[in-house]
Chains A and B, each alone.
Chain A
Amino acid sequence: MTSSSVSTSKNRSWPLEFYRSAVGKKWVMGITGIALLAFVLGHMIGNLKVYLGDGQLDSYAHFLRELLYPLLPKTVTLWIFRTGLVAAFLLHIHAAASLTLLNRRANVAYEGPRDYAVATYASRTMRWSGVIVAVFLLWHLADLTWGVTPMAPQGWEAGAVEANLIGSLSRGGVALLYIVANLLLGIHIYHGAWSLFQSLGWAHPSYHRLRRWFAQAFAGVIVIGNVSIPLAVWAGWLG
């Protein structure tokens, strides 16, 4: 029985101990990355409803709030998703931040020139693209979810998703911000969606090209889908 008590204590510390290692943190970043990719994709597809006009986007938002109702009270499902999403974000960011600190300690800069052989712009700017996208996300929430001035457009109204969206993106500067942020998001995904297979250890050589293609396609679809909306507003096709 002594041995079982020993193994219980191992049990408790296991996830924490795993997360304490850099390989564990990268694994967590991979898993949370998948969750975030799924969200980003779903979010983009949902947003495309704006092109249907006719209050379709508002209904979609309403539908999300009432998901699984009356099995569960209204907005509960949505909050479960939101909680998971927030947790994924926080873990992703925490792991990235602490790995960045570790890497800063481990690294010494070269005094002379440095000629990268294969590292891409995307891979080398993950921290910056990540930080900027996170800051943008706060803006985006204040703008369209919470309706906080001065981020939100004039006349912001809870539940009027389509009107809020078009109102916000009608502002030239804001539209530009959304475009730039989504391009950075695409760059972040371009490396992340490839890299997560490495971190999770799912990198069988026969799927190399598929992985690269997957990352490119994913980043491309997200950028095109999301950027099309401010462009469409600017071109006057919406609203």
Chain B
Amino acid sequence: MNITLRVWRQAGPSDQGRFETYRVSDISAEMSFLEMLDVLNERLTLEDVEPIAFDSDCREGICGTCGVMINGRAHGPQAATATCQLHMRSFSDGDTITVEPWRAAAFEIIRDLMVDRAAFDRIIEAGGFITVATGAAPEANLTPVPKDTSETAFDAAACIGCGACVAVCPNSAAQLFTAAKISHLNLLPQGSAERYSRTERMVDTMEQFFGSCTNHGECEAACPKEISIDFIAMMNRDYVKAKIQKRRGG
């Protein structure tokens, strides 16, 4: 395959940035999208052009490190697929592919296609955990968890923190990320003690960095783990309850 790539190049956070065009030839359709970038980077290196900086690690769709906009879609055209699992067979010979970093005010561009997603960690630090000091845990089977509940919690827990939800949101909202974590923990009996304080703290932290939800549903469509926006509704409900709880002094 031969491909024309329009890639966003930006030397650093303060650089203006621009699209550069590269031709990549003789690519195998079995190659992954990032391997295609690897091949291009090796060539650029030898041509004395600085290679394109991009984040990736596990290359099996679970670590959440990778993620770029490909032709205006987060992680590219294939549903439920992280960038690293996208293969060149999803494109046609002769295609022009535009590659751009995630964009949001909270995701500062570090270089080329790399962005800073540290705001996600701040949200987790605010309450995305169950307080249980090591050693304090009771026997695991003391608390049965209905299978359905556990499965739904897992659906939420599947989030890989890649940031695609923010990248595609016209408001750069992080509701899907935050709601997924809140719902995972709130649904389980182990997490219920901190349910409302967790929801309140995480939502408030989220709003320091990100926009608000206007229910477009783009995040759900872009999510490589197909996490449902139902969890956002769940979070909204718990947030209202959290405020009422607080009013009661709870």
Contact = CB atoms under 8 A, between A and B. Distances in A.
Direct chain A–B contact by Cβ atoms under 8 Å: yes
Interface in A6-47: 6-7, 10-11, 14, 17-18, 21-27
Interface in A109-140: 109-120, 123-124, 126
Contacts of B153: none
A80 interface: no
B136 interface: no
Nearest to A18: B243
Contacts of B213: 22-23, 26, 198-199
Interface stretch (B28-36, B37-45, B46-54, B228-236): B228-236
A203 to B, nearest CB: 3
Contact of A110 (B103, B212, B234): B103
Given A18-B243, A23-B239, A123-B216, A107 B170 contact: yes
24 contacts: A10-B247, A14-B244, A21-B204, A23-B235, A23-B236, A23-B240, A103-B172, A103-B173, A103-B212, A106-B105, A106-B173, A106-B209, A107-B104, A107-B169, A110-B69, A112-B6, A112-B100, A114-B72, A117-B218, A119-B170, A124-B170, A191-B215, A201-B235, A201-B238
B8 interface: yes
A183 B62 CA distance: 45
A102 interface: yes
B37 to A, nearest CB: 16
Q: Does more than half of chain A's interface fall in helix, strand or loop, or is it mixed?
A: helix
Contacts of B172: 103, 106-108
Interface residues of A, number: 49
- Sorted nearest first, the 5 A-B pairs with minimum C-beta distance are A201-B237, A203-B233, A106-B211, A115-B72, A22-B212
A14 B243 contact: yes
A108 B215 contact: no
B229 to A, nearest CB: 7
A111 B100 contact: yes
B235 to A, nearest CB: 8
A200 interface: yes
B71 interface: yes
A27 B240 contact: yes
